[in-house]
Amino acid sequence: MGGLLLLGTFLSLLVTAPVHAAVKGTNTFSPIAKTLPLPVKNTVQVRADAPISEWMPDVNLQKIVLYNYQQDVDQNMTLDQLTQADMAKMTRLVSADYQNVSKANWQSLLAIKSLEGLQYGTNLTEISLQSDTDANLNWGNTLYAFGNISDISPLKGLSKLKWVDFAEQKITDVSPLANLTNLTHVGLGYNQIADISPLAFMANIPSTIVSTLGTAFQSIRRPTITVNPAVTEIVTPTYNIKNLKNTSVAVQPFKSSDASIPDNDRTTFMRYSSTADGTNVNSTTIQWTNLSKNGLGYLTAYWNAPTYALEDEYAGVVITPYVLDDTIGNIFVNYETADGTPLHDPTILAEKLGTDYDLTTNTTVKEIVDGIKAQGYDVKVTGNEKGTYTKEGTTVTYTFTKAPAKVKVPVHYLDADKKTIAGQTDGELSGVPTDKLSAADWATAQRTIDGYTYSHAEVDGKTIDPTTLTYAGLSTGLNMIYTKNAPVEKNGTVIAKYVDENGHDLSKAVTQTGKVGDPYATAQLAIDGYTFKQMATGSAPVKGQYIDGTLTVTYVYAPNTPAEQYGTVITRFVDSTGTVIRDQVSTTGKVGTSYTTSPVTVSGYTYLRVASGSAQPSGQYIHGTLMVTYVYQKNTPPVTQYGTVIAQYVDDQGNTIRTAITTSGLVGTNYTTGQLTIPGYTFKQIASGSAATSGLYVNGTLTVTYVYTKDTAPIPETSKVIARYVDENGTAIHDEIVTTGKVGDPYSTDQLLIKGYTYQQLAAGSAPIYGLYTKDTQIVTYVYSKIDTGGETPGTGDDGDKTPGTGGESGDKQPTTPTKPGQGGGTTGGTTSPVETPTGNSEVARKGQLPQTDEDEGLTSMLLTMLGVVLLGVAAVSYRKLRD
C-alpha cells in the first residue's frame, strides 16, 4: 500500500485554474464551512451630501441603482444628484428589465463586485441581482452567465427585505442574512456556500406564508494537490457541510454514472466526476483508491440535503483536483490525540525526490505544534522528523496528551530578620507537583539585589536542599534569604566642560573627584574670542555634592562679534602677452558678501579665457585684495574668398546627358541647384558622394550629380480576383471562381445560389464584390449559413441537451423551455426554405433560373452590381483615352 494522504478542506472558487499548490512548499487546509468574520468596514463617516462615488464605489452597481430609481421614483434623477437619503426612497432593486435593455447593461450587471452603499436602502423589500436566461441567450449566446458578487454584508441591516435573489454569483458566507427574519424568498443557487445554518429562521416561517429557499448547485473547490503516483490511497477528512440545523451533512463520492444522484446534479457536475474509487469511511469522510494516472484528476464529494420544504434542496459538490508527478515526494504530517482525534488539519509537504527535510525547523509545522502545546499539551512524535523525500511518502504524526495541571509557587525575598527587602516584589514559579525544581527554575528564583548577598532558601522556617525539592513541597511558598552587605566608601566624579553653541570643545575639560556626599564647585573660564552665554540643557549644577557616579557640568559660550572688515576686487583686461588693453575695474565690499565680474567688449579684440592663477570671476570678498584677469586675442582682418558649385546630369552609367551648370559665390553664402526635365529620361536619384543640392559655398569646388534612367515603353500588368464561398466556420462550400485581367481594368464577382445554404454577408476583410484589378491578387469571400430544418416544424423542436439553470425564481431547476417568471412563451420567428445549388457552370445555372418571390431583394442587388460594373468599364476606357 502506498503512502496515506490526508487532505484538508480549504475553500476555493470552482472557476479557479488548477495549480500545483503543494509542490516546493507547504499545503495546509482549513475546515469547510468555518464562518469567517464579516469584513471590517471603513469607520470614516461619509457626509450625507457626499457624491455617490464616495459611498457607493462600484460604478456598475451605481448604474442599476439609477435605472431602478428612474423607473420607480424619479425619472429625471441623475447619478451626480443621487444621495444616501434618496436610497431610502427605493423599495426594490431588480435586474430583469435592466439587463434586457442592452448588452452593455447585461455586462455591467455581471461586473458588479461590491454591494457597498446598499445599506442606505433601508426601505428595500426586494433585491434581485442575477442574470436572466433571455438576456444570457440574447447577449452571450449562453443559458448561464455568472456574476462576481462575493460579499453581501451591506445587506445585514436591511430588516424590511422579503425577497433576495443572488443566484450564479461567488457567495460563500450567508451570515449577513441571519437576522433578516422578514425574508420569505432567498435565491442562492449556483454559489459556493458550505453553511446555510444562518438561514435557520426560514424553517420557522408559518405554513400559511409561501416561502422558498434556493440553495442547490453549490460548487466548492479546493486547491490542486500534487502527489507521487506511488501514493495509492487518499483519505479526505471530515467534509463539514452545515445544514439549517447546523449539523454536518452526509457526503458521498460523486460519479456522473451514479444513478442514485439526481439527473440534474449529474449533468451539472459531470465535468468533475471523480477519477478515483471512493468509499465512505463514515458519513463525512471518504477513502479514495485507484487514482487515474491520466494527468489531472478529481476527488469529488457530493451532498444533497433537504431544507424545510419538499421542493427545496441544499445540494452541491466539493472538488479536490490532483496531479500525479513521479519526480516529487510527500511528507504527510498529522496532529492528533492518543485516541486519533485530530487537533489540527494535516500538513502536506512536497519537494523533489531526494531533497532533505527537517520538520523541527519547518515554520508551518513548528507554528502548529507550538500552538497546540500552548493549550496545555505535551507532544510525542511518531515517524522521522528529519530525512529525505521519497516516492512512497513519509508520514509523521505528532501525538498530543493533556499535560498535568501545574501549581504556582510564590517566591519571597527576605533579609536576615525575615523581613521583605525594600523594593523587592514577590516572584513566582510554576510546575507539576511531582516534578523537582530544575536548574532553570532555581536560576529564576535567585535574584541579584544591590547591597545584599544570597544566603539560603527556607520553607516554613526550615532551610531546604533545592536539589531534592518538589513543587508539592512548596505549597506555602519559597523564602529566599539574603544578608546585608557592609557599606563601601564610594567616590564620585564631576567633569566641567566648556563648549560653543554647537557643542564643540573650546577648552580642556576640568575633572574633579571626591567622596559621595562631599561638596564640589566648578567655575567659568575666560576664553579668547568667546563670551559665556548659559549652562547647557541637562547640565549638572555648577555647585553641589558628589554622587555615586559622574556629574557633568557644561558651560556654553558664544563667539564675540568681530569688527566689520572690507575687501577689494580688481578686474584686469590683457592680451595673450599680458599687455593691458583696457583700464582695470576696482570694487570694494564687506568681507563675506558676494561680488561678480564679467568680460567686457574691447574693440579689435576677442575674449579668450580667465588667466591662469586668476581669482574666480564670482565669489565673496575677503580681507585683502583679489585680482580677476581676463585674457583677449587681437582680431585678424578677414580675407574675401569664393567657391564654385557644378551641377552635372548623367545617366545611371555615368554618361553626361546634358551640359553641366557652373555657379560661383562668396564662401559662406547660399547656393542652390535644380533637377531638370530631360526628354527621354526620368530622374532617379542624387549620386552617391554628391554634394547637397543646396547649401553654402566653400573654399573650393562642390559637385552636385543628378542621376537619370532612360525611359522604356511600359508593359501592361495583369492580376487575379478569386471569389470564395464558405460557411460561417470558414469551410469552403463551393469551388473558387478565378478571373484574370489587366491592372486598372474593372472586375465583378457573383453571389451564387447554393443548395442547403443562404447568403449572410461578406467576410471581414473581404475585397468588394466588384472594382478594379490591382497589382496584388484580391479575394472576395461570400459567407453563407446552413439552412437547418431538422425535419421538424420550426418553433416546436426539442431544446436539445438540458443544462440546469436557475429554475425560475429560486434558481434551483431549469424548465425544458427557458422562461422567466412573468414572461410568456414564444417562437424564434420564420424559417428559410432550402435553395438548390446550381450544377456545372454557376453563371449559366443562375441565368436559367427565375427568381422566387423571396429572391426579389437578391435580384435587385445583382442588377445594381451589373450596372456598377458597366459604369466602371466606361470610366476605365475614358481614362485610358485621356492618358493616351
pLDDT digits (tens, 9 = 90+) for 629-674: 999 999 987 777 899 999 999 999 999 999 999 999 999 999 999 9
Question: Quick one: average pLDDT of 449-472?
Answer: 88
Out of 3.20.20.140, 3.40.50.720, 3.80.10.10, 3.30.460.80, which CATH number does the structure's domain 52-193 have?
Answer: 3.80.10.10
Question: pLDDT tens for residues 36-53?
Answer: 333 344 444 567 678 999
On whether the CB atoms of residues 188 and 168 are closer than 8 A, the answer is no
Percent of the chain, pLDDT > 70? 83
Cell of residue 849, nine digits: 433560373
Could you tell me the residue ranges of all domains in the chain? 52-193, 220-324, 407-484, 493-559, 566-634, 642-709, 713-790+830-884
- Superfamily of the domain at 713-790+830-884: Putative peptidoglycan bound protein (lpxtg motif) (3.10.20.320)
pLDDT at 12 over 90: no
pLDDT, tens digit (0-9, with 9 covering 90-100), for 835-864: 333 333 333 333 333 344 344 444 445 555
CATH of domain 642-709: 3.10.20.320
Q: Answer for the pair 632, 575: CB distance below 8 angstroms, yes or no.
A: yes
Please check the confidence at residue 529 and state whether its pLDDT lies above 50: yes
pLDDT of residue 211: 81
Pair 95, 134: CB distance under 8 Å: no
Least confident of 149-163, 546-560, 856-870: 856-870
Q: Is the pLDDT of residue 829 over 60?
A: no
* Predicted pLDDT of residue 35: 34
pTM across the whole model: 0.46
Decide if pLDDT at 872 tops 70: no
Residue 502, pLDDT score = 95
No. of helices (H) and no. of strands (E), the chain? 11, 49
pLDDT at 348: 84
pLDDT digits (tens, 9 = 90+) for 254-308: 999 999 999 999 999 999 999 999 999 888 889 999 998 887 899 999 999 988 7
Q: Please give the pLDDT value at position 260.
A: 94
* Structure confidence at residue 824 (pLDDT): 36
**Topology annotation, domain 566-634:** Ubiquitin-like (UB roll) (3.10.20)
Q: How confident is residue 807, by pLDDT bands cut at 50, 70 and 90? A: very low
| pLDDT tens by residue, 697-713 | 999 999 999 999 998 87
Mean per-residue pLDDT of the chain: 84
Q: How many residues does the chain have?
A: 884
pLDDT at position 339? 83
Domain 407-484 part of CATH 3.10.20? yes
Cβ atoms within 10 Å of 573's Cβ, excluding its own:
20
Over residues 335-358, mean pLDDT:
87
Give the mean model confidence (pLDDT) for residues 443-459: 92
Secondary structure (DSSP) of 150-193: ---GGGTT-TT--EEE--SS-----GGGTT-TT--EEE--SS--
pLDDT, tens digit, for every residue of 712-753?
876 778 999 999 999 999 999 999 999 999 998 999 999 999
pLDDT in tens, 428-447: 988 888 888 888 888 889 99
How would you classify residue 654: left for phi > 0, otherwise alpha for psi between -120 and 50, otherwise beta? left
pLDDT at res. 805: 39
Mean pLDDT over residues 508-513, rounded?
A: 95
Mean per-residue pLDDT, 574-586 = 94
Q: What is the largest CA-CA distance in the chain?
A: 137
In 3D space, the residue among 308, 291, 136, 129 whose CA is nearest the CA of residue 225 turns out to be 291
Q: What is the pLDDT of residue 75?
A: 95
Q: Do domains 220-324 and 407-484 have the same CATH topology?
A: no
Fold of the CATH domain 220-324: Immunoglobulin-like (2.60.40)
Question: What pLDDT score does 45 carry?
Answer: 59
Does 3.40.640.10 match the CATH number of domain 493-559?
Answer: no
The pLDDT, as a whole number, for residue 192 is: 96
* Helix axes 59-72 and 103-111, enclosed angle (nearest 10): 120
Q: Does the pLDDT value for residue 162 go beyond 90?
A: yes
| Contacts with 533 (C-beta within 8 Å, 6 or more apart), sequence order | 501, 556, 557, 558
* Confidence band of 870 (pLDDT split at 50, 70, 90): low
Per-residue pLDDT for 98 more than 60?
yes
Residues 485 and 415: beta-carbon distance below 8 Å: no
Find the angle CA(145)-CA(146)-CA(148) to the nearest 5 degrees: 145
